[in-house]
Amino acid sequence: MKTTLKLGSLGCLLLALAACRSDQPAPAEQVAWAPVNSPIRADAKTEARITELLGQMSVEQKVGQLVQVEIRYITPAQVKQYHIGSILNGGGTFPNNDKYASETDWVNVAEAFYQASMDTSDGDLAIPVIWGTDAVHGHNNVIRATLFPHNIGLGATRNPELIRAIGSATAREVSATGVQWTFAPTVATPRDDRWGRTYEGYSEDPEIVRQFAAEMVKGIQGEAGTSELFSPSKMVATVKHFVGDGGTYMGRDRGDTKISELELRDIHAQGYFSGLSAGAQTVMASFNSWNGERLHGSFHMLTEVLKNQMGFDGFVVGDWNGHGFVPGCDFTSCPQAINAGLDMFMAIQEWHDLLENTIRQAKSGEIPMARLDDAVRRILRVKMRAGLFDGVSPKQRAVLNGVGDVLGNPEHRALARQAVRESLVLLKNQDQILPLNPKQHILMAGDGADNIGKQSGGWTLSWQGTGNTNADFPGATSIYAGVKAVVDAAGGKVTLSEEGKFDDKPDVAIVVFGENPYAEWQGDINSLEYQPATRKDLQLLASLRAQGIPVVSVFLSGRPLWVNAELNQSNAFVAAFLPGSEGQGVADVIMAKADGSINVDFKGKLTFSWPKDLSQVMLNKGDKNYQPLFPYGFGLSYSDKDTLPSNLPEDRNLAAPGQGPVPLGIFESRVLDPWQIYLVDSEGKKPVTTNTAESSAVSLTGHDYLLQDDARRLIFSGTEPASVVIASDISVDFSGFLASKSSLILDLRVNAAPEGAAAIRLDCGDACSGAVDMTTLLKQGELNQWRKVSVDLQCFVNAGLKIDAITAPFAIDAASKVDISLANVQLLPMSAGDANISCQPQ
Ligand code: BGC
Ligand code: BGC
């Protein structure tokens, strides 16, 4: 780790920092960022070639290089026409919008974009376009690809060599589809595990992040100084998101990281030091702010620190429209970001306006020509280093890599399976119940048992990792299938039942359960409590145990969660994180050989501290008063004796210090588990599966309030009574929320004066509900202004709601024209009388 330098005037001379002038007092904290000394060095020949090209380029051609466009919004012809420098496919975007696109389809699209960029028929310059993708746990947007465990699991393997091999296999799969650049690895150091991207980080410990980032980069790009570097099976790596993404306040994605520069460097930047020292050629700027300043607009961080002090000579790419959040910018214009040191915008629908505005700003001098030339130089430098100018087209590279044969090949799957084995962390093994004898009768239960989508997490064939079935994973294996293969071979018996049903009583149950997939802020949570609303899986574990069946829990999650109650109801408990496509890796470890002896021992060690109560949301190795349930580094092996008490405290009422009571989320950017949204009118009850839906008398569309797509606009046409209902097929007991005097609270915007009445309702079964009139609430306040509104739960009870059997925690009814937007629907304990509508118990 670096040390702080308190710089005197000598230090100013040595470091030539702009902020350091002898006529000014030195800032309170001067932090030196050591040069990374990339092993990929600038060479005179390449620089001369770039200078020559720059001399031939118009402003339009130069600015085109600075723009990266999502493939849904651009054609090869436009890439040529506007001299676009790069394209990307976002999470869940595929060539021709086809989720089942083959490798050849990918290659053909890559080839078409490349050939368009190389077309000199009208005297244009040939500058190869570069395609970037989020290959963050294997080539995860492509059907049949090998899916490796997410980084949180890789961290637990503590095996840097394995990480490098995974980088290498991923690069080969990506290369076989004609793509040359991955937005990976994420080198965040997640500190507050409520962050929805915790699983993208290797560890809460910067040291592990530092170690693994370098290995992943070497695997992806090849080792610098060897012939492997940027050979045709390699690609360009990105270290992201620069910087402090894992340190935001309360773990809010895209939030503010309020820490000193020293902490920023020593906790959150270690992966940049090592990743860039291993030669990573691109850095992605982060959405988050650092002490109130957006990283996309930070001259200090992008230019002074990253480029000048650390000496990074590759290019900085923006995140998804990330420039638009810099004060004074929007998605179509942001000279501030370029001037701060961003070299390439990541642009979506608005790319054309952004391009035109940037050209204008370059011509007027608002973006200095020297800055523009520097950005273009960096981009061309990376393209040249990566071999894009060498005349090997995406198709030729793909052929060299065995297009059609490489995705999900047995060697890569074996590697992923090894990673699964090594990533499993054994938290509990009472009476050494594990490994299980495969000759027994084993019940496999839980909704994760035979669910490859769930075991793979976010960034899997779709951005959120949702919407997949096992049929979407040809060649992959569920955890159930892995266990079944072992048991069948040994002559035992397996029964699969999600709900834990059986005919003959099993000897033991393996219950696979945990978080459903999510990505980015949609995975942010307020509390680390597992399944606060339903405790559905706890009931499953408890019911099996009540029948005298020992329980082995396999827990799938993107972060440590508070699971004391689930631990108490388990004889053994395995933290499996998000293992990916090779579920057999689980059976390899938890199942014994046919003779009962150990097949493979547990090796995984936690790289995140595991909380013992709900106050421990920001629990990290090295904290003062560090009292986790399972410390950083914990992980039993078969020879360890387990001493975990079987009566861990289950007190749920411990909120995080200083953060007040923990709300129960119902809708936060997405509808939360176990709920589902429905439109209800004369057409029936229609489930809403995306962010737009329409029925005869009501429509729903997603839009932005505080975050991308975090609000829903509801328009009731008034032609007949209609409802928007958030409901579940199971019923949930809300008595605790009534006892803590909770209110239903939401962000509301009224878009047009309502023409009649509307109500908020909760349901407790088919003919059971409690509704509260909200017409006055809608008429209060200004049109088109967001405000928080709240209704005391007691009011619904007074109106007939049975609080212990809630099937719909939120619904809106209207029979006349009503146009409103909603966001953040929650239950929150509040002081008596604080709600907009409050009621006395009757
Ligand atoms: C894209 C993702 C992207 C996200 C960010 C989604 O629509 O598919 O790749 O990360 O938006 O806002
Ligand atoms: C994410 C990035 C990702 C990009 C492209 C963004 O929303 O923050 O990690 O690389 O989208 O999909």
User: What single-letter amino acid sits at 510?
Assistant: I
- The CATH superfamily holding the domain 664-834 is Galactose-binding lectin (2.60.120.430)
Q: What is the pLDDT of residues 46-70, one digit of tens each?
A: 999 999 999 999 999 999 999 999 9
Given a cut of 60, whether residue 19 has pLDDT beyond it is no
The pLDDT, as a whole number, for residue 242 is 98
Closest CA to 183 of 110, 239, 106: 239
Query: Which ligand 1 atom is nearest residue 93's CA?
Result: 8
Taking the centre of ligand 2 as the mean of its atom positions, its distance from the CA of residue 352, in whole angstroms, is: 20
| Interval 509-514 mean pLDDT | 98
Cβ within 8 Å of residue 737, ≥6 positions away: 664, 793, 803, 827, 829
| Interval 698-704 mean pLDDT | 95
Cβ within 8 Å of residue 414, ≥6 positions away: none
Given a cut of 80, whether residue 427 has pLDDT beyond it is yes
Given a cut of 50, whether residue 18 has pLDDT beyond it is no
Taking the centre of ligand 2 as the mean of its atom positions, its distance from the CA of residue 632, in whole angstroms, is: 29
Find residue 726's DSSP bridge partners.
Answer: 677, 810
Q: Report CA torsion sign: 682, 683, 689, 691.
A: negative
* Least distant ligand from the CA of 282: 2
Taking the centre of ligand 1 as the mean of its atom positions, its distance from the CA of residue 303, in whole angstroms, is: 26
Tokens linked to 624: 């003062």
3-state secondary structure 549-572: CCEEEEEECCCCCECHHHHHCCCE
3-class DSSP state for residue 838?
Answer: coil
* Least distant ligand from the CA of 245: 2
The pLDDT, as a whole number, for residue 332 is 98
- Rounded percentage of the chain residues whose pLDDT exceeds 70: 95
Ranges of each domain in the chain = 44-401, 424-464+473-659, 664-834
Give residue ranges with CB within 6 A of ligand 1: 90-93, 320, 463, 708
Query: Which ligand 1 atom is nearest residue 90's CA?
Result: 9
Q: Report strand pairing: 664-668 vs 698-703.
A: unpaired
Taking the centre of ligand 1 as the mean of its atom positions, its distance from the CA of residue 96, in whole angstroms, is: 17
Whole-angstrom Cα distance, residue 815 to residue 189? Answer: 50
Residue 131's Cβ-count burial label (10 Å; 0-12, 13-18, 19+) is buried
| Interval 364-390 mean pLDDT | 98
Protein residue with least CA distance to atom 11, ligand 2: 320
Given a cut of 90, whether residue 737 has pLDDT beyond it is no
Taking the centre of ligand 1 as the mean of its atom positions, its distance from the CA of residue 252, in whole angstroms, is: 17
pLDDT-based confidence at residue 732 (cuts at 50, 70, 90): confident
Query: Which ligand 1 atom is nearest residue 463's CA?
Result: 8
The H-or-E segment that residue 787 falls in is: strand 787-792
| Selected residue with higher pLDDT from 2 and 138 | 138
Whole-angstrom Cα distance, residue 355 to residue 27? Answer: 38
Known catalytic residues are 319, 520
Whole-angstrom Cα distance, residue 375 to residue 369? Answer: 10
Q: What is the pLDDT of residues 151-181, one digit of tens each?
A: 999 999 999 999 999 999 999 999 999 999 9
Q: Which of 197, 238, 319, 459 to mutate to test the pocket of ligand 2 (most atoms within 8 A of CB)?
A: 319
Task: Please tell me what DSSP assigns to residue 366.
Answer: S
| Mean of per-residue pLDDT scores for the chain | 94
Whole-angstrom Cα distance, residue 159 to residue 332? Answer: 44
Query: Which ligand 1 atom is nearest residue 708's CA?
Result: 12
* Least distant ligand from the CA of 186: 2
Q: Give the CA distances from residue 476 to residues 22, 410, 469, 585, 704, in Å, rounded to whole numbers and listed in that order.
A: 64, 11, 12, 11, 36
Given a cut of 80, whether residue 570 has pLDDT beyond it is yes
The pLDDT, as a whole number, for residue 23 is 44
- Rounded percentage of the chain residues whose pLDDT exceeds 90: 88
Whole-angstrom Cα distance, residue 272 to residue 279? Answer: 10
pLDDT-based confidence at residue 29 (cuts at 50, 70, 90): low
User: What single-letter amino acid sits at 408?
Assistant: G
| Interval 633-656 mean pLDDT | 88
pLDDT-based confidence at residue 729 (cuts at 50, 70, 90): confident
Protein residue with least CA distance to atom 6, ligand 2: 320
Query: Which ligand 1 atom is nearest residue 321's CA?
Result: 12
Given a cut of 90, whether residue 6 has pLDDT beyond it is no
Taking the centre of ligand 2 as the mean of its atom positions, its distance from the CA of residue 320, in whole angstroms, is: 6
Whole-angstrom Cα distance, residue 337 to residue 302? Answer: 9
Given a cut of 90, whether residue 7 has pLDDT beyond it is no
Task: Determine the distance from the C-alpha atom of residue 642 to the mean position of all C-alpha atoms in its chain, rounded to a whole number.
Answer: 33
∠ CA 440-445-447 to the nearest 5 degrees? 155
Cβ–Cβ under 8 Å, residues 358 and 341:
no
Q: Which of 94, 197, 283, 320 to mutate to test the pocket of ligand 2 (most atoms within 8 A of CB)?
A: 320
The pLDDT, as a whole number, for residue 11 is 38
Give residue ranges with CB within 6 A of ligand 2: 90-91, 134, 183, 240, 319-320, 520
- The CATH superfamily holding the domain 44-401 is Glycoside hydrolase, family 3, N-terminal domain (3.20.20.300)
Protein residue with least CA distance to atom 12, ligand 2: 90
Protein residue with least CA distance to atom 12, ligand 1: 320
55: number of Cβ within 10 Å: 7
Cβ–Cβ under 8 Å, residues 238 and 132:
yes
pLDDT-based confidence at residue 690 (cuts at 50, 70, 90): confident
* Least distant ligand from the CA of 319: 2
pLDDT-based confidence at residue 829 (cuts at 50, 70, 90): confident
Cβ–Cβ under 8 Å, residues 814 and 758:
yes
pLDDT-based confidence at residue 666 (cuts at 50, 70, 90): very high
The pLDDT, as a whole number, for residue 2 is 36
Query: Which ligand 2 atom is nearest residue 240's CA?
Result: 9
Task: Determine the distance from the C-alpha atom of residue 372 to the mean position of all C-alpha atoms in its chain, rounded to a whole number.
Answer: 32
Cβ within 8 Å of residue 806, ≥6 positions away: 731, 732, 733, 734, 762, 763, 764
Given a cut of 50, whether residue 183 has pLDDT beyond it is yes
Given a cut of 70, whether residue 468 has pLDDT beyond it is yes
Helix, strand, coil percentages in the chain from 3-state DSSP, rounded to 5:
30, 20, 50
Cβ within 8 Å of residue 282, ≥6 positions away: 181, 236, 237, 238, 239, 314, 315, 316, 317, 382
Q: Global pTM?
A: 0.89
| Interval 569-596 mean pLDDT | 98
Taking the centre of ligand 1 as the mean of its atom positions, its distance from the CA of residue 127, in whole angstroms, is: 27
pLDDT-based confidence at residue 513 (cuts at 50, 70, 90): very high
Distance between terminal CA atoms of the chain?
63
3-class DSSP state for residue 446?
Answer: coil
Q: How many Cα atoms are found within 13 Å in the side-chain-facing hemisphere of 226?
A: 8
The pLDDT, as a whole number, for residue 14 is 40
User: What single-letter amino acid sits at 402?
Assistant: G
The pLDDT, as a whole number, for residue 653 is 66
Given a cut of 60, whether residue 657 has pLDDT beyond it is no
Cβ–Cβ under 8 Å, residues 742 and 793:
yes
- The CATH superfamily holding the domain 424-464+473-659 is Glycoside hydrolase family 3 C-terminal domain (3.40.50.1700)
